[in-house]
Amino acid sequence: MPIDLTGPTMRESALYAMGLSDPQAGPPTGAAGALAGTMGAALIAGVCTENLDSCRSEKAEEELLKVRDKALSLRRDLIALVEHGAQAAARVAAVRHADKRLSDQERIQALLFAAEVPLRTAESCHALLNLSLRALGRTGIKALPELGTGTALAFAGVVGGIVTARSFLAGIEADICGAENTRKRAERIFREAEALRTQVIDRVRQHLP
């Protein structure tokens, strides 16, 4: 049974990813990472559903069900983060516009709060990379294109989230404790995600016919 590319999961994700949920508007500012992650989550969930019938053991089927359900849960989170990301970007623009009317502490707190949204996107996409690695061990060679693409989209979501968060913090001095901790957190997420992406892509390449 082929993956249903016309079903609500894939169709809605594709619309979000292409900015076509409103034909008159492009993708919202600040939401690029969440858009990529939404599509990646749908692909990973679809691969798991597609391979349930070919599982050779109950344990393998149970693992794929867990991966699928978690991917769908992350997809729901990422869809919400599309809107939240756009709102965060708008808040950052407002803070910078009102810079002279805010104290330094108010400005810093507002920017740190806004940066949490794209960081949550990066963390969700990092979790998707873990799911892709788990699914790779339970699916056949026919799933390689979807898992490879889902992995690339999830990593793009990590990059989008981290770059957006770092750009929100651009006006905060490096020695501010909260900002420095956030930058270190972003670096850790990126480093771990890059290692997971490499693992998945290397295994995909090894199994190419």
Q: Is the pLDDT of residue 24 over 70?
A: no
How far is Cα 89 from Cα 192, in angstroms, rounded to an integer? 26
Q: Is residue 136 in a domain?
A: yes
DSSP for 103-161? Answer: -HHHHHHHHHHHHHHHHHHHHHHHHHHHHHHHHHTTS-GGGHHHHHHHHHHHHHHHHHH
Assigned domain for 2 exists: no
pTM: 0.83
Give how many domains the chain has, as a whole number. Answer: 1
Instruction: Please compute, for residue 162, the number of CA atoms within 13 A of its CA located in the half-sphere on the CB side.
Output: 22
Instruction: Report the range of poorest mean pLDDT among 69-73, 92-96, 114-118.
Output: 92-96
Q: What is the C-alpha to C-alpha distance for residues 100 and 17, in angstroms, rounded to an integer? A: 37
| In-domain check, residue 44 | yes
The 3-state DSSP composition of the chain as helix, strand, coil percent (nearest 5) reads 80, 0, 20
Worst-scoring range by mean pLDDT, 71-85, 119-133, 177-191? Answer: 177-191
Say if 188 falls within a structural domain.
Answer: yes
| pLDDT for position 46 | 92
Q: Domain limits at 199? A: 8-206
CB distance 188 to 54 below 8 Å: no
Cα distance between residue 76 and residue 138, in whole Å: 24
Residue 90 is predicted with a pLDDT of 84
95 found inside a domain: yes
Mean pLDDT within 97-117: 79
Asked whether residue 38 is assigned to any structural domain, the reply reads yes
Structural domain contains residue 3:
no
Alpha-carbon distances, residue 100 vs 103, 154, 158 (angstroms): 8, 38, 33
* CB neighbour class for 202 (10 Å; exposed up to 12, middle 13-18, buried from 19): exposed
The rounded distance, in Å, linking the Cα atoms of 159 and 153 is 10
Q: Structure tokens of 88?
A: 């965060």
Q: Is residue 172 part of a domain?
A: yes
pLDDT at 108 over 50: yes
Question: What CATH number corresponds to the domain at position 68?
Answer: 1.20.120.680
Q: Tokens 């892509």 sit at which residue?
A: 201
pLDDT digits (tens, 9 = 90+) for 55-89: 778 888 899 999 999 999 999 999 999 888 888 88
137 phi and psi angles, rounded to 5 deg? -80, -5
Q: Which residues, 6+ apart, have CB-to-CB distance to 57 below 8 Å? A: none
